[in-house]
Amino acid sequence: MDSALIPEGVKRCPFWQFLLALAVTGAVLLWGVYAMLLCWFKGLNITGMNDYYGFALWIWADLAVIALGGGAFFTGLLKYVIGKDELKNLINYAVLIGFICYSSALLILAIDVGQPLRNWFIFWHANVHSMLTEVAFCLSCYFGVLCVEYLPLVLENRQADRIPFFHNLTHNLHEIMAVFAATGAFLSFFHQGSLGGVAGVLFGRPFGYREHILIWPFTFFLFTWSAAACGPCFTIFITRLTEKITGKRLVKPEVIHLLAKIAGWMLTTYIIAKICDTLYWAFSTAPAMGFTLSHFYTNNSLYGYWILFAEIVVCGIVPAVVLITRGLRERPGLLFAAVTLASIGVCLNRWVMVLQVLAPPVMPFDQWALYMPTWPEVATTILPVAYGVIMVLISYRYLPIFPQEKELNPVES
């Protein structure tokens, strides 16, 4: 039964190994589900949130996975709209990673709502003045787009593809995929941007507040830009990781290098914009509100200047230089290091914009509010990782994700 579902011409590990991997990851998943149920039944008082911290660790994870999943919309845009046809060899995995990230984001939001029976309120009783309403709308619709993009991959399973209707449906979906990809890119622009905009409009939280272009604070554009830059880096990171774990070449180097080069230029332009934004905020916006830069970075080691240096230099400028320089980009070790740093960088940016925003004192009598997550928050943050690993395990085993795998790994008959 199992071997009949595996794509033709490729080799997979023994079934018992696959089941063992599923069981181990499933145990971690169940731990997260238990913590999620505790959050629903016992309430958010079991978290480390308090009057200062309205955002938990999982909200950082939510924004981080949304940014990392940005590889799906940007690679889709490059492949289907701009016409970079070489990326057809990586687009399936980008879509799968995006699907995992966005379904995880919706799951995390469901935990945060706290009352699952009222999840639909966000659509029916929508607050049309809220950027988070826009985020919820766009995120849900974009997840729908990702389902449509993932569907042909599922239908291309060896057994499903034998059914004529499924075969024809796959073909038809491929034919008009550009429409879905363009819709996805449009939706992503607004939900990624609005997530950034949430921090940027909080004038009561001067660490995050930014000047505006019309109604949009600078952070609106920086969030979309960083997702388009770092999302593809995460796709390359996971692809390389999968290749290391499976011990196979799954995608030809030239395909990886093309995406790495484009991501590198996106990262370069993003980091220049980020530096300009930081300088303007530090020397114009914050002083105008009565603050100095040292107000936001001193007094504790957790949020020292190191975090600014790590985000902009170590995880921004360094990977950008590696990715745009051909000689460096084509060295496998350096490429892997660069995409890893870029992925960490965008997570660090979301950490700063979600949690550090709430930490500095804003009133004369306030103190730095440091935050310590409780175990249910850690478990619910690890939950999507376990879910993602399970999805990758199943998809890699049974679906033709990598079109070049057969050619790169000929099976001796």
Partner 1 sequence: MLPFSFEWIWDVGHMVFHGGLWYALSIIGIGLTYCIVKAAIDSAKAGGGGHHHH
Helix count and strand count (H, E) for the chain: 19, 2
Compute the least distance from the CB of residue 77 to partner 1, in Å. Answer: 16
> Which of 11, 42, 118, 171 touches partner 1 by CB under 8 A?
171
Compute the least distance from the CB of residue 241 to partner 1, in Å. Answer: 29
* Residue 123 in contact with partner 1, rule: CB under 8 A: yes
Compute the least distance from the CB of residue 100 to partner 1, in Å. Answer: 20
Compute the least distance from the CB of residue 245 to partner 1, in Å. Answer: 28
Q: Which window, 47-55, 125-133, 357-365, 388-396, contacts partner 1 (CB under 8 A)? A: 125-133
Angstrom distance (rounded) from CA 209 to CA 362: 12
Q: Which window, 172-180, 240-248, 312-320, 367-375, contacts partner 1 (CB under 8 A)? A: 172-180
Cα 253–258–261 angle (5° rounding)? 120
Interface with partner 1 in residues 32-51 (CB under 8 A): none
> Which of 168, 284, 300, 367 touches partner 1 by CB under 8 A?
168
Q: Which two tokens stand for residue 283?
A: 């020397």
Give first-to-last CA distance, the chain, whole Å: 20
For partner 1, the closer of residues 180 and 398 by Cβ is: 180
Compute the least distance from the CB of residue 377 to partner 1, in Å. Answer: 31
Compute the least distance from the CB of residue 155 to partner 1, in Å. Answer: 10
Name the packing angle between helices 253-280 and 332-354 (round to 10°): 40
For partner 1, the closer of residues 113 and 141 by Cβ is: 141
Contact flags string 186-225 toward partner 1, x per CB under 8 A? xx--x-----------------------------------
For partner 1, the closer of residues 32 and 400 by Cβ is: 400
Angstrom distance (rounded) from CA 264 to CA 71: 13
Beta-carbon contacts of residue 241 (< 8 Å; ≥ 6 apart) = none
Compute the least distance from the CB of residue 413 to partner 1, in Å. Answer: 23
Q: Which window, 41-49, 87-95, 169-177, 333-341, contacts partner 1 (CB under 8 A)? A: 169-177
Q: Is the dihedral of CA 169, 171, 176, 182 positive or negative?
A: positive
Burial of 16 (0-12, 13-18, 19+ CB in 10 A): exposed
What are residue 216's phi and psi, to 5 degrees?
-105, 125
Q: What is the DSSP string of 36-54?
A: HHHHHHH-GGGSS--SS--
Compute the least distance from the CB of residue 244 to partner 1, in Å. Answer: 30
For partner 1, the closer of residues 125 and 294 by Cβ is: 125
* Residue 141 in contact with partner 1, rule: CB under 8 A: yes
Angstrom distance (rounded) from CA 381 to CA 406: 36
How many C-beta neighbours within 10 Å does residue 6 have?
17
CB 236 within 8 A of CB 95: no
* Residue 176 in contact with partner 1, rule: CB under 8 A: yes
Compute the least distance from the CB of residue 123 to partner 1, in Å. Answer: 6
CB 245 within 8 A of CB 397: no
Q: Is the dihedral of CA 48, 51, 57, 59 positive or negative?
A: positive
CB 367 within 8 A of CB 302: no
Q: Which window, 28-36, 119-127, 324-332, 357-365, contacts partner 1 (CB under 8 A)? A: 119-127
Compute the least distance from the CB of residue 126 to partner 1, in Å. Answer: 6
Q: Which window, 66-74, 130-138, 223-231, 260-268, contacts partner 1 (CB under 8 A)? A: 130-138
Angstrom distance (rounded) from CA 267 to CA 283: 24
CB 370 within 8 A of CB 302: yes
For partner 1, the closer of residues 102 and 303 by Cβ is: 102
CB 252 within 8 A of CB 408: yes
Contact flags string 143-162 toward partner 1, x per CB under 8 A? -xx--x-------------x
For partner 1, the closer of residues 125 and 364 by Cβ is: 125
Angstrom distance (rounded) from CA 194 to CA 217: 9
Give residues in contact with partner 1 (CB under 8 A).
123-126, 128-129, 133-134, 137-138, 141, 144-145, 148, 162-169, 171-173, 175-176, 179-180, 183, 186-187, 190
